């Protein structure tokens, strides 16, 4: 029996409420609790509300976003929960009006001196063409309602100064009202071990089992992921890394389905990379890696690709700069236009700068490339540039103006789009203890 028959989004929602209520009513002291209600009013112009490649439809959108955030930080617990409702009103196309919801929960609990537990949950219900999670890049041009709930929870046991073992479980559920998009649930446990042989030499071991089931008759997908890493702490600020990974992917078609699906989608991926991490000071750090992966399908031609990564974080008195880039592969089996195994490259640059005590400038740009390995796979390039400024009108009220330009080029013309956004926001917030 598939998990669709056992659990529902309502069940997960009740668990979320129960967890929050348990923490609230079991608190031994309210001195550290903070309740932060907020209200935002947004007026925006969207040049392409359906992200259509040929017939762009523009509109003015008014959004009202009431929000409540609850926080508690003690010596043994860090807890934060946020809920936001989004009331969306379209000026010209009122049939697109809808109410969206989003929530997030983060909780770290020290159960004993060496044992800790964590849970991270995110949920959103929307009708927007692009999902809030940037990992899912498919476009929903029908604007039907959908929701996604993700839970990551686990226990960590610290058995040395830097030695630990973590057991965790991951659950990701997608539900659609669009009959052309399949509901799915992705779930599975993982195990991670970090052990230092000496002050300078350490090992990192990891294993995860993951399965994705679909509500329709498509066969389930299953992965086994093994990772082995070596760590050399060259100095207090510098660490060198060497990593090897083995991914085993298989399609779980039943006996009656094998004639239609077979096992031609099965494949293995080997990867190896070397990298470094260096902290120049608390406000300036740099990390990078370089390697290769080897894609070996059970039926088909093998291929190789490059793995690389770069992260630069620089903070200064009036702002910060973050530069990131990575390349390699990913598994895309959920949501609209999922491509399966894909080759990816991405780069991003973001910066903030305070020109005065109440005024801040910020901007970002990003690039994402994805190419499907299958014969019918597409090649997509997505660019995004955003600039904005915020001004603190009062101690509790902030105004912001943002401009965003997005564009996707694709080997499939139906996946292309261009989009311009202008956003004006007023946000008021209050902290109550």
- At 357-405, the pLDDT tens digits run 999 999 999 999 999 876 566 889 999 999 999 999 999 999 999 999 9
What pLDDT, on the 0 to 100 scale, is given for residue 253? 65
Q: Among positive and negative, which fits the CA dihedral 132, 342, 384, 364?
A: positive
Strand locations in 217-302 (E): 220-233, 238-252, 267-281, 284-297
CA-to-CA distance for 186 and 333, rounded, in angstroms?
A: 9
235: exposed, middle or buried (C-beta count within 10 Å: 0-12, 13-18, 19+)?
Answer: exposed
Query: Strand, helix or coil at 20?
Result: helix
Report the relative pairing of strands 303-316 and 284-297 from DSSP bridges: antiparallel
Token reading at 185: 């649930």
> Looking at residue 255, what is its pLDDT?
47
pLDDT value of residue 24: 55
Which residues, at least 6 apart from 130, have a Cβ–Cβ distance to it below 8 Å? 51, 137, 139, 140
Which residues, given as ranges, of the chain have pLDDT below 70?
1-31, 253-264, 374-377
410 contacts 416 by C-beta, under 8 angstroms: yes
Residue with tokens 């890394």: 241
Instruction: Please report the pLDDT score of residue 194 as a whole number.
Output: 97
Question: Which H or E run contains 15?
Answer: helix 9-26
CA distance 222 to 207: 14
- pLDDT tens for each residue of 254-288: 545 545 544 557 999 999 999 999 999 989 999 99
Q: What is the pLDDT of residue 26?
A: 58
Determine the Cα–Cα distance for residues 322 and 255; give it in Å rounded to an integer.
51
Tokens of 86: 């989004």
State the pLDDT at residue 299: 83
CA 348 to chain centre: 15
3-class SS of residue 243: strand
Predicted confidence at residue 373, as pLDDT, reads 76
pLDDT on residue 20: 57
């Amino acid at each position: 029996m598939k998990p669709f028959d056992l659990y529902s989004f309502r069940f997960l929602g009740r668990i979320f409420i129960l967890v929050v209520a348990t923490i609230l009513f079991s608190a031994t002291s309210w001195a550290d609790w903070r309740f932060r209600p907020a209200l935002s009013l947004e007026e925006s112009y969207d040049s392409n509300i359906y992200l259509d490649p040929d017939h762009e439809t523009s509109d003015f959108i008014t959004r009202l976003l009431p929000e409540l955030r609850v926080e508690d930080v003690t010596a043994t617990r860090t807890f934060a929960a946020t809920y936001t409702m989004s009331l969306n009103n379209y000026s010209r196309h009122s049939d697109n009006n809808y109410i969206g919801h989003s929530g997030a929960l983060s909780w770290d609990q020290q159960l004993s001196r060496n044992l800790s537990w964590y849970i991270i949950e995110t949920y959103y219900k929307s009708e927007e063409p692009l999902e809030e999670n940037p990992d899912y890049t498919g476009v929903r041009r029908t604007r039907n309602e959908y929701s996604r709930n993700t839970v990551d929870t686990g226990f960590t046991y610290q058995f040395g100064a830097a030695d630990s073992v973590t057991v965790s479980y991951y659950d990701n559920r997608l539900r659609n009202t669009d009959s052309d998009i399949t509901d799915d649930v992705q779930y599975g446990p993982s195990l991670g071990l970090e052990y230092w042989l000496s002050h300078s030499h350490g090992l990192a071991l990891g294993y995860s089992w993951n399965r994705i089931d679909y509500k329709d008759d498509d066969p389930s997908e299953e992965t086994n992921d093994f990772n082995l890493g070596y760590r050399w702490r060259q100095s207090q600020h510098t660490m060198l890394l060497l990593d090897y990974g083995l991914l085993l992917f298989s399609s779980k078609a039943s006996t009656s389905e094998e004639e239609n699906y077979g096992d031609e989608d099965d494949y293995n991926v080997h990867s190896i990379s070397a990298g470094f991490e260096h902290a120049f000071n608390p406000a300036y750090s740099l990390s990078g890696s370089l390697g290769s992966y080897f894609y070996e399908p059970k039926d088909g031609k093998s291929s190789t690709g490059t793995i690389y990564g770069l992260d630069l974080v620089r903070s200064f008195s009036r702002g910060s700069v973050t530069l990131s880039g990575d390349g390699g592969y990913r598994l895309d089996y959920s949501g609209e236009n999922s491509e399966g195994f894909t080759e990816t490259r991405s780069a991003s640059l973001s910066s903030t700068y305070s020109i005065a005590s109440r005024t801040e400038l910020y901007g970002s740009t990003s690039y994402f490339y994805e190419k499907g390995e299958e014969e019918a796979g597409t090649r997509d390039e997505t660019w995004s540039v955003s600039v904005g400024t915020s001004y603190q009108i009062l101690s509790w009220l902030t105004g912001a103006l943002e401009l965003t330009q997005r564009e996707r080029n694709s080997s499939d013309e139906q996946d292309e789009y261009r989009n311009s956004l202008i956003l004006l926001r007023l946000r008021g917030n209050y902290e109550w203890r």
